[in-house]
Amino acid sequence: MLLDEELAPYAPHRPSVCTIGVFDGVHVGHQALVRRTIEEARGRGHSSGVVVFHPHPRDVLVPGTHVPVLTPLEDRVRLLKDLGADVVVPVSFTLKLSKLSARQFMSSLVQHLRLAGIVSGPDFAVGKDRGGDLPALIRLGEELGYTVTVIEPLGEPARKISSSAIRNAVGSGEVDAAARLLGRPYSTRGKVIHGAARGRTLGYPTANLRIDAGVALPGDGIYATRARADGSIYASASYVGSQPTFNGNERSIEVFLFDFQGDLYGDDLEVEWVSKVRDDRRFDSQDALVRQMAQDVDQARAVLASERG
CATH at 218: 2.40.30.30
Do 153 and 253 lie in one domain? The reply is no
| Of 265, 275, 278, 273, the residue nearest 209 (C-alpha) | 265
Phi, psi of 22 (to 5 degrees): -85, -40
Residue 172 is assigned to a structural domain of this protein: no
Residue 245 scores a pLDDT above 60: yes
Quote the CA–CA distance of 91 and 53 in Å, as a whole number: 5
* pLDDT tier, 208 (very low <50, low <70, confident <90, very high otherwise): very high
155 and 13 both lie in a single domain: yes
Domain assignment present for 169: no
Q: How confident is the model at residue 230 (pLDDT cuts 50, 70, 90)?
A: confident
pLDDT of residue 265: 87
Q: Which of 76-80, 138-142, 200-204 has the lowest mean pLDDT?
A: 200-204
| Whether residue 130 has pLDDT greater than 70 | yes
Is 86 among the domain residues? yes
pLDDT score, position 64: 87
pLDDT > 90 in the chain, percent: 77
Give the confidence band of 38 by pLDDT, cuts at 50, 70, 90.
very high
**DSSP conformational letter for 230:** T
The domain that holds 127 is classified in CATH as 3.40.50.620
Number of domains, the chain: 2
Shared domain for 42 and 139, answered yes or no, is yes
H or E, element range at 41: helix 28-43
Say if residues 16 and 87 touch (Cβ distance below 8 Å): yes
If asked whether residues 123 and 234 sit together in one domain, one would say no
Whether 1 shows a pLDDT value over 70: the answer reads no
Alpha-carbon Rg for the chain, nearest whole angstrom, is: 22
Query: 143 and 8 share a domain?
Result: yes
pLDDT greater at residue 242 or residue 14: 14
Is 8 a residue whose pLDDT tops 90?
yes
pLDDT class of 257 with cuts at 50, 70, 90: very high
**pLDDT on residue 122:** 92
Check whether 199 has a pLDDT greater than 70: no
The β-bridge partners of 148 are 118
End residue of a domain, out of 159, 177, 201? 159
Return d(Cα 40, Cα 35) in angstroms, integer: 9
Q: Residue 191 belongs to what domain range?
A: 185-308
pLDDT at 157 over 80: no
Check whether residue 149 and residue 275 sit in a common domain: no
- Assigned domain for 220 exists: yes
Instruction: Tell me the C-alpha distance between 92 and 153, whole Å.
Output: 25
Quote the mean pLDDT of the chain.
92
Residues 19 and 148 in one domain: yes
pLDDT above 90: residue 75: yes
Model pLDDT, residue 242: 86
Query: Is 17 contained in some domain?
Result: yes
* Least confident span in 105-109, 207-211, 262-266: 262-266
